Chains A and B, each alone.
Chain A
């Protein structure tokens, strides 16, 4: 019995924002404790609390939207704005690391040998595994678009197959990149080249893992009939995020791997 005259969702009181804030506190202070007192207990506790918070908060959102019907058109519009703004903030996050890279590489200091790549650094060949990684992510962009069209056209089997393929491609990228990290002839400690390379590609890799996880959750939901052919914003948000991850890789590839070699 709705007694409101508006289409918005007045959310019930929830403990998850508080547990999330506590998790953030425990993780940050735990990081400092780890650095100074060699104990990872506090940080691990924070991490567990963070995972529990994410699981329960997003589970509640799925309950409110899919099972209780609170995600009316205006509510969905707000969720769209929210995801777009979040992705925009992530764009700025990566912009910082690209700034750092270009700052150091456009005018290499004498300490580096006045050249880029710096003296002593053997960069990875951009036309080997990095090029394969590019193809893998571009292909995953195609398959996730395929998934979207399948959902809109009511094709359940194709949606599940193409989404699974997308996730497998994402995992393939992660595995290849992990191998590259292991085999690389330079480390994060190798001057500003190592710092810019591993921080930028490392954060990108983390976002690939996050994106793959988001898509995997969508796969489970799709299998369980959560999405309709008209209303499937959770999936759209995951697809937007995945395309964003792909675009960041393209910039990384062209700037750091290719121009930077």
Chain B
């Protein structure tokens, strides 16, 4: 009995699939909403920001910089200073901590990498 039920639903599925257009649309009007239509709150804000290429909530991995004078690490901050923890060489266990203030780029007291504070808009 179960086999007959399954067979019937499998046939129905196969028929339906052939009948509908095999287009990769995000909305087929099959009755299920999309995030575009129904996302709300913070999820919606993030979705819209991602579309413009911005990352106000720092979800993406920070960009990589050389750390030299001409290509300093750019550090976003919502205030005028931020703590930096520099792992000078890979696998170092002693992290070098210091405050980075707005203005001219500062250098790590241990390895000399350049860091520059850049203002980051606080999402509101």
Measured CB to CB, the residues of A under 8 A from B are 1-7, 67-74, 132, 135-136, 139, 142-143, 146, 150-151, 153-159, 161-162, 165, 169, 172, 225, 227-231
Cβ-neighbour of B123 out of A2, A74, A150, A153 (below 8 A) = A2
Contacts of B43 in A (CB 8 A): 69-72, 231
- Name the residue of chain B whose CB is nearest to the CB of A172: B2
Among B34, B42, B59, point to the contact of A228 (Cβ < 8 A).
Answer: B34
Return the contact of B59 from the options A74, A151, A229 (Cβ within 8 A).
A74
**Size category, B interface:** 35 or more
Report the number of A-B residue pairs with Cβ-Cβ less than 8 Å.
112
Question: Assuming the A-B contacts A2-B45, A69-B39, A155-B28, are A230 and B9 also in contact, with contact meaning beta carbons closer than 8 angstroms in the complex?
Answer: no
Which residues of the other chain, B, contact A136 by a CB distance below 8 angstroms? 2
Task: A7-B58, A228-B39 are known; give 19 further A-B pairs, CB within 8 A.
Answer: A1-B124, A4-B57, A4-B123, A5-B56, A69-B42, A70-B42, A72-B43, A74-B59, A136-B2, A139-B6, A153-B30, A154-B30, A157-B31, A161-B9, A162-B9, A227-B32, A228-B37, A231-B35, A231-B43
| Cβ B58 vs Cβ A5 within 8 A | yes
Q: Interface of B with A (CB < 8 Å)?
A: 2-3, 5-6, 9, 13, 16, 20, 25-35, 37-46, 56-59, 78, 120, 122-124
Among A67, A135, A146, A228, point to the contact of B32 (Cβ < 8 A). A228
The smallest C-beta distance from A72 to any residue of chain B, in angstroms, reads 5
Would you give 26 A-B contacts (Cβ < 8 Å), ordered by A? Answer: A1-B124, A2-B123, A5-B57, A7-B57, A67-B40, A69-B40, A70-B42, A135-B3, A136-B2, A139-B6, A150-B30, A151-B32, A154-B25, A154-B31, A154-B32, A155-B16, A156-B31, A158-B16, A159-B32, A161-B9, A162-B9, A165-B5, A228-B37, A228-B39, A229-B27, A230-B34
Q: What is the minimal beta-carbon distance from B90 to any residue of chain A, in angstroms?
A: 25
Task: Name A165's contact: one of B9, B45, B46 (CB within 8 Å).
Answer: B9
Write out the residue numbers on chain A whose beta carbons fall within 8 Å of the beta carbon of B42.
2, 7, 69-70, 72
Q: Which of A139, A146, A159 contacts B2 (CB 8 A)?
A: A139
* Interface pair A69/B44, CB less than 8 Å apart: yes
Minimum distance in angstroms from A37 CB to a CB of chain B: 46
**Is A155 a contact partner of B57 (Cβ separation < 8 A)?**
no
> Chain A CB within 10 Å — which of B5, B31, B32, B45 has the most?
B32
Nearest-CB distance from B120 to chain A (Å)?
7
B14 to chain A, nearest CB (A): 11
Q: Which 8 A-B pairs have the closest CB atoms?
A: A69-B41, A156-B31, A69-B40, A155-B30, A69-B43, A7-B57, A154-B30, A154-B28
Which residues on the A side are within 8 Å of B29 (C-beta)?
154
Residue on B nearest A156 in the bound complex, by CB: B31
Nearest residue, chain B, Cβ from A76: B43
Query: Whole-angstrom distance between the alpha carbons of A161 and B6 in the complex?
Result: 12
Q: How far is the CA of A52 from the CA of B58 in the complex (A)?
A: 37
Q: For B44, what are the chain A residues with a Cβ–Cβ distance below 8 Å?
A: 69
Contact A230 B123 (CB under 8 A): no
The reply to whether B57 and A229 form a contact with Cβ atoms under 8 Å apart is no
- Contact across chains for B46 and A7 when beta carbons are under 8 A apart: yes
